[in-house]
Amino acid sequence: MGILTSLNTVLLFSVIIMVHTRGKVVASGGSSIYSASQRGDLAEVTKLANGTCKDVNWKNGDGKYTPLQTAAEYNRKEVVKFLLDCKANQDMKSTAGTTALMFASKAGHFDVAKILLDNGADPLITRNEGQTALSWAQENGFPDIVKLINLSNVYLAKQADGIVEQVKDIHQQVNDIAEQVNDSSKKPCLLKPTLYSS
C-alpha cells in the first residue's frame, strides 16, 4: 500500500505542477524557462525552448515576469541575447508595467541595456507608477546608461517624431495665418486712414 500511495502522491504532484505552470515546458526537478533564465543557465533555456523558441514570452507562475525580464534583471547577457534571437518581446510589461530595459537600467546592467536597445527596446515606455528606463537610470546614478538611452536609435527617433509633429503644427499655423491675410486683402478696407498732426 505504501508504494501505491507514493505513486499517487507523485502523480498528484505532477498534475499540480502542470496546472501551476499552465502546461508550459518544465524540465526535471520543476525547472522552468523562467527559473533557468534567472540562473543564467543558457543550456537549460535552450533545451527548454526545444530549438523552436517556444515559451519565450511566458510569464512565471504568478504571472509577473517573463524570462527576458528576469534575465535582464539578473544581468544574464547570453540568455538575453538568446531570448531576443527567439523573438522575445523586449517591450512586454510585467504586472507593474516594468520592461526588461527598465530592470537592466534600474540595476545598472549596461551591457544588457545596450543589447536590449540595439534590438529596438523602447526606452520611453512608462511603468504603472510613471517611471521609465531613463528615469530609473538617472535616479539610481547610472550616467553611462542615461547616455546610452539618450543616444539610442529608438529614443532619437521618438524625439525626432516629436520635433516633426511640432514643425507640422507650426507649418499649419503659418498656413492659417497666410490664409487669413489673403482673405483680408481681398476685402475692401473699412478703416479710413487718419492723419496725425504733430
Cβ atoms of 62 and 56 within 8 Å: the answer is no
Q: In whole angstroms, what is the distance from residue 179 CA to residue 176 CA?
A: 5
pLDDT tens-place string over residues 54-105: 667 877 766 688 899 999 999 999 999 999 998 999 999 998 999 999 999 9
Cβ atoms of 109 and 100 within 8 Å: the answer is no
Q: In whole angstroms, what is the distance from residue 33 CA to residue 104 CA?
A: 19
Cβ atoms of 66 and 29 within 8 Å: the answer is no
Tell me the chain's radius of gyration from C-alpha atoms.
28
Q: Which CATH class is domain 19-171?
A: mainly alpha
* Among 70, 29, 62, 32, residue whose Cα is nearest residue 49: 32
If you average pLDDT over residues 95-123, what whole number do you get? 95
23 pLDDT band, cuts 50/70/90, is very low
pLDDT tens-place string over residues 158-197: 666 667 677 777 777 877 777 777 776 666 555 555 555 5
The C-alpha cell at 114 is 545596450
Cβ atoms of 51 and 84 within 8 Å: the answer is no
Q: Coil, helix or strand for 32?
A: strand
Query: Which pLDDT belongs to residue 191?
Result: 53
Q: In whole angstroms, what is the distance from residue 62 CA to residue 95 CA?
A: 10
| Residue with the larger pLDDT of the pair 103 and 124 | 103
Query: Which pLDDT belongs to residue 4?
Result: 46
50 pLDDT band, cuts 50/70/90, is confident
* Paired strand residues for 32: 26
Query: Which pLDDT belongs to residue 56?
Result: 79
Mean pLDDT of the chain: 77
Q: In whole angstroms, what is the distance from residue 145 CA to residue 151 CA?
A: 10
Cβ atoms of 8 and 33 within 8 Å: the answer is no
Residue that has been written with the C-alpha cell 539610442 in this structure: 152
Determine the length of the chain.
Answer: 198
pLDDT surpassing 60 at residue 7: no
